[in-house]
Amino acid sequence: MSDPSAEAENLPRHVAIIMDGNGRWAQRRGLPRIEGHRRGVRSVREAVETCADLGLEQLTLYCLSSENWKRPESELRRLLNLLEQFLVEERATIMRQGLRFATIGRREGLTDGVLREIDRTVELTRDNSKMRLCLALNYGARSEIADAARAIARRVAAGELSPDDVDEELFADHLYTSGMPDPDLLIRTAGEMRISNYLLWQISYSEIWVTEKCWPEFREPDLKDALHAYAARDRRFGGLSPQ
C-alpha cells in the first residue's frame, strides 16, 4: 500500500462513507449490538482525523438512515444517546482541527438533546475554514429527492419559477446537500454491495470501494487503501481516456 498523501493531486475532494456492520461485529463477539456502535466511534475519529490531515474538502458519514426507525425502540434510544454524547465529547476536537460541522436529513424524530447539540456545534464551527464534517442523520435519499421536488413545485405554483426553469442545477440547489460538492468516492464497510438509499442523486459519478471489514474494524490503513484505489482509477465521466 502506498501513502495517498504522495498522490495529493489525485485525492478526492469529498468522501462519503456507509458505516455498516456495527451490530454484526458485536454479535459475532457475543456483545450487545450497541457495543458495536460504541466501538465504531473510534473508527469515526480515525477517519475524520485522516481525511482532515490529508486536506480533503468534505467527509460525509451515514449515521442514521430514515429506514433505521424500524429497529427496536431500545436500540434507537441508545443510538441517539450515543450520538448526543459524541457531539458533546468531540466538539473540542472538531474546533481544534478547524472543521466545519454540518448535517443532512430530516430533523423530525431526533431527540431534543441531539438537535440542541447539532445546532450548537454548527454555530460554533461556522467560521472554521478546514474540512467539512457532515453527518447524515434521519437521512434517506428518496425522501431528500421528494422534498426537493415538493419545494420546487411550491415555487412554481407561487409563480416564482417556470417549469422550464427546472434543470439539474436548480434541482441540486434544493437538495439537503446544496452548496456541497458531490462525493468523488463512496466507501462501504461490511461487504454489502448496495447503496442503501444514500446520496442517490449525488453519487451519480462517484467511485465505489467496498471492504469486507465491519465498521468497528475499519482503521486508517483501510481508509488509505480506499484512497489509493481511487487515485489509480481512470474517471472518464462518460467520455474517453486521453490515451
Q: How far is CA 8 from CA 11, 79, 142, 218, in A?
A: 5, 36, 34, 22
The H or E element containing residue 63 is strand 58-65
How long, in residues, is the chain?
Answer: 243
First to last CA, the chain: 26
Phi and psi, residue 204, nearest 5°: -50, -35
d(CA 45, CA 30): 24
Q: How far is CA 225 from CA 149, 187, 189, 210, in A?
A: 38, 11, 13, 11
Q: Which one from 20, 138, 184, 222 is the annotated catalytic residue?
A: 20
Q: Which one from 10, 68, 81, 197 is the annotated catalytic residue?
A: 68
Look up 81 and say whether it is catalytic.
no
- Cβ–Cβ contacts within 10 Å for residue 129, how many? 7
Q: CA nearest 64: which of 42, 43, 80, 47?
A: 80
Q: CA nearest 175: which of 207, 206, 140?
A: 140
Look up 20 and say whether it is catalytic.
yes
Q: How far is CA 178 from CA 93, 102, 156, 225, in A?
A: 26, 12, 19, 29
Question: Residues with catalytic annotation?
Answer: 20, 68
